[in-house]
């Protein structure tokens, strides 16, 4: 087989030749590159020289680069452009990759060398990045069972292989249920309240399915506007129930038993390693450090947010009853009623904003903003291969030097999971620049108009672009410490801080322009956007906290008591929800962040990072949002450094002090 995955790519920038990569290339390539990496590791182990940082740790960092590249390609495509064949290949490859990781981490001779270096290396001769790599690798081996007896190590292997498979199945089940449902509308009467752009998009979706009328799906660009604007309460209910049933139906895609198995295995794994719980295991390598600190952090925020949320809910209930005829607010009413309340109180209709945020214009403005901040230039290159015809490709330069490749994938498709994320196809390390991708699910262009973003979609784009900057501007020696390879509760700082520019007049002037007239966003709408930032912050915070509490509850000491996913949810977060529960719906069964993504015992980090970003952005506000000195400092101390030092060390070097928790509350208007 002429398999392009078996060697470095002979392309411009060594970019992935997607059109030449076939699904049946992946498993053989991963098998062969694993075998090659094992030979490289054997060579390290057989080295007769005294173990040192260079001949052991640095040599290990260079091993398996093709495995990393190929697995990134496989898992990224499985998220953004999957198929049955690709899902099958991913299911086949995942246990192999897990076994390889365990073979490395449980390699006795390799660990003996690392242990020797850890105990005996002259640390005064290592720089900060080398010291961090040494600490990280040693801990990684210990946290993966290197100090355990063989029988316990074998137990870990089996647990890890099973967990890898379960998390993939969880995601496939959510995607399958999402794809299985659509709302087919035949009557224009049922479209009342929906903006014309949303109706046009639904018309296009129906046409794509060879249907008459309009089709709405559970993809966010279709689902969210429908729930926000559709006047037909019965249809809102149908959509809401369908959305909440993902992974929770009596079919082969039910995730309930998978969740129970995942959390049980995670707990068993942690206890085998000597930890009280999976949360204790995870949080040892986080800024938060322990489940107790996370619980206190959530509790402190709840104390401030709950009174505000209760008042906001009372206002919403009163408004819905008096103005909308909704006497008992259900969960399918809240987005609709909140939008009407916002229109009434702030005189802001989100649809008024959309014409000022055409995707191409927002993207161009975003490029201008990061050029002002970090001197980046983006050159579109249509000749580069991409995995789908809609994917945009850019060469990124900084002060004339090539910096990165950027792939941008903006619209929903049948083979693409929902949500938005940043990922990489190639990591950064010494003498190697990264290939970064941002993936979103925005409203598609229609026959009548370009893709027009809601303001929430604008902030989503800025958020993911912040992650992309973390990857593109990385400047480290070792890939293991590059870009987003940082403590998980630090990884959201670069993304969340970027959202702040969406609310600043000086930044909005660069991209908020009417797609037909070119006129700038009027001052009164800018004022309303700023006011809207404070709208229902209590309720928004409460929602995020409920996810944080639910996540922690699945991964701390109560795991053995969880017998039923639905009952557990009600016990843990029922008191934080103001709408009535519905038996056919579950939050957990589609909670991909913690059961498919990397946020297990870490969902709190969104709010944690908001503290960091609110505090950090106050410095930009003090000095000017485009202040070159502040931006250079953020680049040099945060964006370029990856995980080369402890995040608090990096943060204090940028800010001059530890973050102030009150900064978040000030920004949210909760104090």
21, 113: one domain = yes
Which CATH number fits the domain that encloses residue 378?
Answer: 1.10.1370.40
461 within 8 A of 422, measured Cβ to Cβ: no
Confidence tier at 533 by pLDDT (50, 70, 90): confident
Is-catalytic flag, 464?
yes
In this predicted structure, what is the pLDDT of residue 417?
85
Q: Is residue 515 part of a domain?
A: yes
State mean pLDDT over 88-110.
93
Q: 133 and 189: one domain?
A: no
Task: Return the higher-pLDDT residue of 598 and 89.
Answer: 89
Q: Report which secondary-structure segment, H or E, holds 129.
A: helix 128-143
pLDDT digits (tens, 9 = 90+) for 365-419: 999 999 999 999 999 999 999 999 999 999 999 999 999 999 999 999 888 988 8
In a domain, 129, yes or no: yes
pLDDT at 671: 77
Cα 131 from Cα 491, distance rounded (Å): 21
Tell whether 74 and 198 lie within a shared domain. no
Look at the chain and report how many structural domains it folds into: 3
Asked if pLDDT for residue 439 goes beyond 80, the answer is yes
DSSP 304-323: HHHHHHHHHHHHHHHHIIII
The domain that holds 74 is classified in CATH as 1.20.1050.40
H/E element holding 87?
helix 84-105
Residue in this structure with the two tokens 């098998």, named with its chain if needed: 31
Give the residue from 477, 501, 533 where a domain finishes. Answer: 533
Does the structure show a pLDDT above 70 at 655? yes
Q: CA angle, 618 as apex, 495 and 536 as ends, to 5°?
A: 70
Q: Mind listing the pLDDT tens digit for each residue in 7-39?
A: 999 999 999 999 999 999 999 999 999 999 999
pLDDT at 394: 98
In this predicted structure, what is the pLDDT of residue 1?
Answer: 62
Q: For residues 195 and 254, what is the distance between their CA atoms, to the nearest angstrom?
A: 34
SS3 content of the chain, % helix, strand, coil (to 5): 60, 5, 30
For residues 36 and 88, state if they share a domain.
Answer: yes
- Give yes or no: residues 421 and 528 share one domain: yes
Tell me the percentage of the chain whose pLDDT exceeds 70.
100
Residues β-bridged to residue 429? 432
Cα(636)–Cα(384) distance, integer angstroms? 30
pLDDT digits over 321-332, tens only? 999 999 999 999
The answer to whether 93 and 27 are in contact (CB under 8 A) is yes
Query: What's the pLDDT at 633?
Result: 98
Q: What is the pLDDT of residue 349?
A: 85
- Mean pLDDT score across all residues of the chain: 95
Examine residue 367 and state whether it is found in any structural domain, yes or no: yes
- Active-site residue identified among 464, 499, 569, 610: 464
- Rounded mean pLDDT of 316-323? 97
For position 668, what pLDDT does the model report? Answer: 84
Beta strands in 3-106 (DSSP E): none
H or E stretch at 137: helix 128-143
Residue 58 corresponds to which tokens in the numbers above?
Answer: 């640095």
In a domain, 36, yes or no: yes
Query: How confident is residue 333, by pLDDT bands cut at 50, 70 and 90?
Result: very high
Parent domain of 233 = 181-244
d(C-alpha 452, C-alpha 226), whole Å: 16
Q: Are residues 72 and 140 in the same domain?
A: yes
Same domain, 368 and 506: yes
**Does 165 map to a domain?**
no
Distances (CA, A) of 8 to 100, 431, 521: 21, 15, 47
Q: Does 338 fall in a domain?
A: no
**Separation CA 580–CA 591 (nearest Å):** 20
Contact 422, 437 (CB under 8 A): yes
Q: Examine residue 654 and state whether it is found in any structural domain, yes or no.
A: no
Non-local (6+) Cβ contacts of 348 within 8 A are 342, 525, 528, 529, 531, 532
pLDDT per position as a tens digit, 159-183: 999 999 999 999 999 999 999 999 9
20/125 same-domain check: yes
* Whether residues 107 and 185 fall in one domain: no
| Domain end residue (candidates: 244, 264, 287) | 244
Alpha-helical segments (H) within 144-216: 150-180, 196-208
Do 255 and 249 meet the contact criterion of CB atoms below 8 Å apart?
no
Average pLDDT over every residue of 455-471? 97
**Cα dist. 183→191, 220, 248, 332 in Å?**
12, 14, 19, 15
Instruction: Judge if 97 and 202 occupy the same domain.
Output: no
Mean pLDDT, rounded, for 488-514: 94
Tens-digit pLDDT profile for residues 414-429:
889 888 999 999 999 9
Coil, strand, or helix at residue 286?
Answer: coil
Is 634 within the bounds of a domain?
no
Which of the listed residues 127, 147, 167 is the one where a domain comes to its end?
147
- The SS3 call for residue 126 is coil
Question: For the residues 56-78, what does the mean pLDDT come to?
Answer: 95
Same domain for 487 and 364:
yes
> What confidence score (pLDDT) does residue 597 get?
82
CA-nearest of 148, 138, 113, 117 to 42 is 113
What separation in angstroms does the CA of 554 have from each of 118, 206, 566? 34, 40, 12
Percentage of the chain beyond pLDDT 90 is 91
Q: Are residues 90 and 203 in the same domain?
A: no
Structure tokens at 670: 């909760």
């Amino acid at each position: 087989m002429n398999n392009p995955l078996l060697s470095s790519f002979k392309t411009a920038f060594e970019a992935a030749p997607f059109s030449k990569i076939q699904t049946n290339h992946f498993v053989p390539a991963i098998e062969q590159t694993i075998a090659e990496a094992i030979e490289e590791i054997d060579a390290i182990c057989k080295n007769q020289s005294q173990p040192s940082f260079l001949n052991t740790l640095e040599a290990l960092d260079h091993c398996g680069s093709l495995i990393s590249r190929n697995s990134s390609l496989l898992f990224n495509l499985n998220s953004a452009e999957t198929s049955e064949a690709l899902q099958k290949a991913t299911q086949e490859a995942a246990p192999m990759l897990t076994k390889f990781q365990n073979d490395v981490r449980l390699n006795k001779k390799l660990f003996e060398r690392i242990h020797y270096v850890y105990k005996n290396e002259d640390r005064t001769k290592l720089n900060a990045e080398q010291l961090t790599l040494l600490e990280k690798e040693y801990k990684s081996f210990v946290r993966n069972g290197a100090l355990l007896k063989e029988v316990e190590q074998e137990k870990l292997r089996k647990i890890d292989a099973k967990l890898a498979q379960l998390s993939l199945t969880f995601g496939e089940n959510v995607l399958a249920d999402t794809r299985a449902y659509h709302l087919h509308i035949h009557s224009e009467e049922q479209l009342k309240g929906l903006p014309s752009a949303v109706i046009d998009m639904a018309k296009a979706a129906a046409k794509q399915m060879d249907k008459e009328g309009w089709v709405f799906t559970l993809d966010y660009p279709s689902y969210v506007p429908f729930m926000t604007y559709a006047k037909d309460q019965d249809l809102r209910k149908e959509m809401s129930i369908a959305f909440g049933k993902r992974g929770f139906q009596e079919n082969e895609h039910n995730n309930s038993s998978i969740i129970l198995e995942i959390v049980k295995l995670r707990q068993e794994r942690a206890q085998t390693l000597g930890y009280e719980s999976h949360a204790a295991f995870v949080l040892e390598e986080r800024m938060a450090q322990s489940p107790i600190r996370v619980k206190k952090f959530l509790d402190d925020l709840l104390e401030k947010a709950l009174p505000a949320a209760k008042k906001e809910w009372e206002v919403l209930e009163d408004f819905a009853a008096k103005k909308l005829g909704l006497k008992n607010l259900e969960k399918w009413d809240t987005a609709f009623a909140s939008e009407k309340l916002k229109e009434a109180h702030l005189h802001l209709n989100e649809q008024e904003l959309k014409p000022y945020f055409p995707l191409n214009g927002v993207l161009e403005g975003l490029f201008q903003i990061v050029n002002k901040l970090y001197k980046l230039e983006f050159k579109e290159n249509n000749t580069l291969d991409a995995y789908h015809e809609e994917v945009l490709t850019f060469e990124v330069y900084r002060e004339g030097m090539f910096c990165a490749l950027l792939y941008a994938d903006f619209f929903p498709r049948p083979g693409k999971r929902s949500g938005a994320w940043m990922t990489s196809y190639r990591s950064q390390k010494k003498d190697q620049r990264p290939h970064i991708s941002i993936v979103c699910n925005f409203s598609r262009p229609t026959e009548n108009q370009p893709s027009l973003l809601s303001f929430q979609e604008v902030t989503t784009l800025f958020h993911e672009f912040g992650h992309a900057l973390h990857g593109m501007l990385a400047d480290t020696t070792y890939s293991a410490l590059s870009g987003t390879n940082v403590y998980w509760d630090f990884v959201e700082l670069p993304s969340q801080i970027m959202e702040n520019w969406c609310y600043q007049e000086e930044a909005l002037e660069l991209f908020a322009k009417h797609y037909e007239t070119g006129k700038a966003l009027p001052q009164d709408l800018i004022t309303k956007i700023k006011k809207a930032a404070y709208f229902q912050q209590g309720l928004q915070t409460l929602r995020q906290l409920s996810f944080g509490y639910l996540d922690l509850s699945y991964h701390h000491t109560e795991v053995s008591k969880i017998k039923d996913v639905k009952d557990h949810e009600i016990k843990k977060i029922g008191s934080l929800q103001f709408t009535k529960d519905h038996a056919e719906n579950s939050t957990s069964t589609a909670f991909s962040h913690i059961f498919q993504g990397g946020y297990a015992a870490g969902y709190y980090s969104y709010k944690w990072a908001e503290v960091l970003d609110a505090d950090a952005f106050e410095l930009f506000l003090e000095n000017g949002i485009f202040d070159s000195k502040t931006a250079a400092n953020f680049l040099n101390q945060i964006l370029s450094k990856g995980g080369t030092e402890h995040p608090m060390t990096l943060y204090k070097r940028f800010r001059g002090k530890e973050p102030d928790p009150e900064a978040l509350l000030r920004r949210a208007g909760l104090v």
